[in-house]
Every structure is written in C-alpha cells, then in structure tokens.
C-alpha cells in the first residue's frame, strides 16, 4: 500500500497558503476559515482517506498531514494579525480630525502640561529615596474587601476605630463588604501573606497608591488622595529603628533644615503608635495658615506592628517584629513645593500646572 491519498498534498498546501494570503479583510477570513481548515476543507477530506492505509503508512501519512495543517493554521494566524492591524489603522484614519483649519486665525488656547503631573513626580521622587534606603516598591488593589481594609488590620466590625475612616462602600452584604481602600495599609496584609506563603521574610517594602475617603476638601485634605505605605518585618526591630527611618527620610527628601518629630497617636494596627510631623516648609516653623500657626505639619502615622496583625497573616510575633508607616504623597508635594492649598492639585489651573512641566 502507498500513501497515494497524499500524492498531491504539497500542491494542496500551496493552494491553501495562496488563498490565505489573498484574504483582504477579517470578514473574508472568518467566512473562508471553514473551507480552509474546517470540516469542509481539503485537509479534512484527506484525513478521512487515510483509513485505507496500513497502520504504519497511516502513522507516517498522518504526521505529514499534521505538519501541513500546522503550516496553514500558522498562515491564518499571521494573516489574522495583519488584517486586525489594518482594520485598526483604517478606523483611526477615519476618526482623524485635522483642526488646523478650524483654529487658524482663532484664539490661541493655553495648554497645561502632560503626564506625569506634580503628584506622579512626587511619587517617583519618594520611591527613589526609599529604594536608596533599601526598600523595594510594591503595589496593591484600590478596591478591597472589608477583611483586608479593616479586619486583618485589627479593626473588626463595629469597632469604634472605623470612624477614623470615612469609607466609600461599593457593596454591602454577605459574606463581606467591598470598599474603596481608605489607606494603603491593606497592601501590607497582601505582602505579609505572600511572604509567609513563599517563606521570604524578612520584608522591607514601600507601597504607593491612590486612596479614597469621604473627606471635605480643604487646604490639607482631598477625597481622592495618594499615600505611600512602608513596612519592615525582621528580627529584632525596635521603635528606635522606626524613628531613625522617619528622620532619615525627612532629611533626604525635604532637606537637612527640616526636622521630624513623633508624638503619641492611636492606630489599631500598630502598638505603640505615633503621628509624625515635619517642620512646616512654608513658614519654616514660625506659624502660618497652612500649619494652623503651629509651625508643624502632620505628614502621617506610624508604629510597631500589632501582634494581632501578625496573627491574621500567620507570622510568629515571638520571632519577628516590625514597624509600619504611611503618609500622604499629596501632602509631601504640598510641603516640598510650598503649596498653600492642596486643592490647587485638582483645580486644573493652567498657571499652576505650567510650574511643574
């Protein structure tokens, strides 16, 4: 017995490849696909004819036919990509609008600046400072479950501390509510869970991102704002390590003439907790409207990670200790660039934006 059923296989393949190359649109390709590689194709007919061959001949002929089908399938894939790109290009060309004639001789429209803006530039600068201090940069989701945003951070349902965060709820119900994250602290939980699963402790990371609270915008607050969170989990970490990290960051980012200080605070996920402030960069500590005449600006909160948080992620608090801190990127931009009112960041005043081009 010979492989006579495949005597003209090469000719069939060349004809199929030529037919694929001649397709001029995605519609033609979709309509032609059944006759090229489907049940009605010549390759399928040849496949049925292999039943007359001996087992050994059928195996060799099947391999040849499989290779032929692979060549045609690959040609179809390449042609599909090219036709999809051509369709996108045609769509863009059809949508193109030349406004040159419209605005010629008209009023010149002042332009702002492109991305990145002042907040993004500030975030990049903060990341550089912390990377230089040995931290890595991580990210987390903006939409969180109630467990990550509150419960894993030692804030169970109905806990009075939830009043500290005016939360946007996306969905209320069982088993969990879904919220827009009120702080970047949930990313700590994700990172510690992953570190436990991968046995990759110790952990030194910062996590920048957007947060949301139902705050009334004023000179120092926005409803949609940006934070950068930091976490260190290692053996033998103390509060002195936290204070030294805050001080090193402050001088590296704001300059050697700007001081930081810690004062007692309360956060459910750290114990002890502190709020850290820096010298007001607008008045250099003399007192002004922005710092409420105190000479200091609160930048964020910090503290030693509460053992309850370690328990939630499966870390042995007897072996590991750590600290966490978080502060506003928008507030850093305000202080570094001496912006009296944070609302200027979202007002899209071209005169303001041009200063950060």
Distance CA 125, CA 109 (A): 31
Lowest mean pLDDT among 5-14, 27-36, 185-194: 5-14
Task: Please indicate, yes or no, whether residues 128 and 239 belong to a single structural domain of this protein.
Answer: yes
Q: For residue 334, give the CATH number of its domain.
A: 3.30.930.10
Q: Is residue 86 part of a domain?
A: yes
**Do residues 133 and 89 share a domain?**
no
Q: Answer yes or no: is 101 within a domain.
A: no
How many structural domains is the chain composed of? 2
Same domain, yes or no: 142 and 277: yes
Neighbours of 225 (CB within 10 A): 20
Q: Does one domain contain both 170 and 270? A: yes
> pLDDT digits over 193-251, tens only?
999 999 999 999 999 999 998 877 776 677 788 999 999 999 999 999 999 999 999 99
In a domain, 323, yes or no: yes
Residue 45 is assigned to a structural domain of this protein: yes
* Residues 315 and 196: beta-carbon distance below 8 Å: yes
Residue 221 and residue 280 in one domain:
yes
73 or 205: which carries more pLDDT confidence?
A: 205
Domain residues for the domain of 351 are: 118-356
- The helices-and-strands tally (H runs, E runs) of the chain is 12, 10
| Position 163 pLDDT exceeds 80 | no
- The whole-chain average pLDDT of the chain stands at 85
Q: Are residues 177 and 84 in the same domain?
A: no
> Confidence band (pLDDT; 50, 70, 90) for 342?
confident
Q: Quickly list DSSP for 6-74.
A: GTTHHHHHHHHHHHHHT--SHHHHHHHHHHHHSTTSHHHHHHHHGGGS-HHHHHHHHHHHHHHHHHHHH
Residue 20 sits in the same domain as residue 146:
no
Higher pLDDT, 349 or 72: 72
170 and 61 inside one domain: no
H-helix segments, the chain: 9-21, 26-37, 42-49, 55-95, 100-103, 118-132, 146-149, 186-198, 239-254, 307-313, 329-336, 350-353
Instruction: Give per-residue pLDDT as tens, 81-90.
Output: 888 898 888 8
pLDDT at 27: 87
Residue 102 lies in a domain: no
- Report the percentage of the chain scoring pLDDT > 70: 92
In the predicted model, is pLDDT for residue 32 greater than 80?
yes
Beta bridge partners of 229: 207, 326
Q: Which of 95, 126, 153 is the last residue of a domain?
A: 95
The pair of three-digit structure tokens given for residue 205, joined into one six-digit string: 């990371």
What percent of the chain has pLDDT above 90?
A: 40
Q: Is 122 in the same domain as 91?
A: no
Q: Is residue 273 part of a domain?
A: yes
Residue 219 sits in the same domain as residue 267: yes
When pLDDT is averaged across residues 177-205 and rounded to a whole number, the result is 94
Please report whether residue 106 resides in a domain: no
Q: Is residue 170 located within the same domain as residue 232?
A: yes
Looking at 63, 80, 95, the residue that finishes a domain is: 95
3, pLDDT greater than 70: no
- CA pair distance 316, 225, nearest whole angstrom: 34
What is the spatial order of strands in the sheet that 270-279 belongs to? Answer: 136-137, 203-212, 224-234, 321-328, 296-305, 270-279, 260-267
pLDDT value of residue 102: 55
Please check whether residue 5 is in contact with residue 61, taking contact to mean a CB–CB distance below 8 angstroms. Answer: yes
Mean pLDDT value across residues 165-172: 81
Higher pLDDT among residues 223 and 139, named by residue: 139
pLDDT (0 to 100) of residue 184: 93
Least Cα distance to 345 among 123, 124, 118 occurs for: 118
Q: Which residues pair with 174 in a beta bridge?
A: none
pLDDT at 2: 46
The residue among 60, 95, 130 that closes a domain is 95
Dump pLDDT digits (tens) for 266-312: 999 999 999 999 998 888 888 888 788 999 988 889 999 999 999 99
pLDDT value of residue 106: 59
Mean pLDDT across the stretch 30-50?
A: 80
pLDDT tens, residue by residue, 92-112: 888 877 666 555 555 666 665
Of residues 187 and 39, which shows the higher confidence score? 187
Considering the domain architecture, whether residues 77 and 154 belong to the same structural domain is answered as no
Q: Is residue 80 in some structural domain?
A: yes
- Residue 62: what pLDDT? 77
């Amino acid at each position: 017995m010979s492989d006579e059923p495949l005597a003209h296989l090469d000719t069939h393949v060349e004809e199929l490849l030529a037919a694929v190359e001649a397709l001029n649109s995605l519609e033609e390709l979709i309509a032609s696909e059944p006759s090229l590689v489907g049940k009605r194709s010549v390759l399928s007919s040849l496949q049925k004819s292999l039943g007359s061959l001996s087992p050994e001949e059928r195996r060799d002929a099947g391999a040849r036919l499989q290779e032929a089908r692979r060549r045609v399938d690959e040609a179809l894939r390449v042609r599909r990509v090219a036709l999809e790109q051509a369709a996108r290009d045609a769509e863009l060309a059809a949508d193109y609008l030349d406004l040159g004639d419209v605005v010629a001789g008209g009023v010149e429209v002042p332009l702002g600046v492109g991305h990145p803006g002042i907040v993004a530039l500030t975030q990049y600068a903060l990341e550089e400072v912390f990377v230089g201090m040995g931290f890595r940069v991580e990210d987390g989701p903006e939409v969180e479950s109630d467990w990550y945003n509150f419960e894993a951070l030692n804030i169970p349902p109905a806990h009075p501390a939830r009043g500290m965060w005016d939360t946007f709820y996306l969905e209320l119900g069982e088993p969990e509510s879904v919220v827009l994250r009120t702080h970047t602290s949930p990313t700590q939980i994700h990172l510690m869970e992953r570190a436990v699963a991968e046995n990759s402790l110790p952990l030194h990371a910062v996590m920048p991102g957007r947060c949301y609270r139902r705050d009334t915008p004023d000179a120092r607050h926005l409803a949609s704002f940006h934070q950068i969170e930091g976490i260190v989990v290692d053996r033998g970490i103390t509060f002195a390590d936290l204070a030294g990290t805050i001080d090193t960051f402050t001088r590296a980012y704001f300059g050697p003439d700007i001081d930081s200080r810690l004062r007692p605070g309360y956060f459910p996920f750290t114990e002890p907790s502190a709020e850290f402030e820096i010298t007001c960069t607008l008045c250099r500590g003399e007192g002004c409207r922005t710092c409420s005449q105190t000479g200091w600006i609160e930048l964020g909160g910090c503290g030693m990670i509460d053992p309850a948080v370690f328990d939630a992620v499966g870390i042995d608090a007897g072996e590991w200790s750590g600290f966490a801190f978080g502060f506003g990127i928008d507030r850093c931009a305000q202080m570094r660039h001496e912006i009296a009112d944070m609302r200027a960041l979202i007002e899209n005043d071209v005169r303001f934006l041009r200063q950060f081009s």
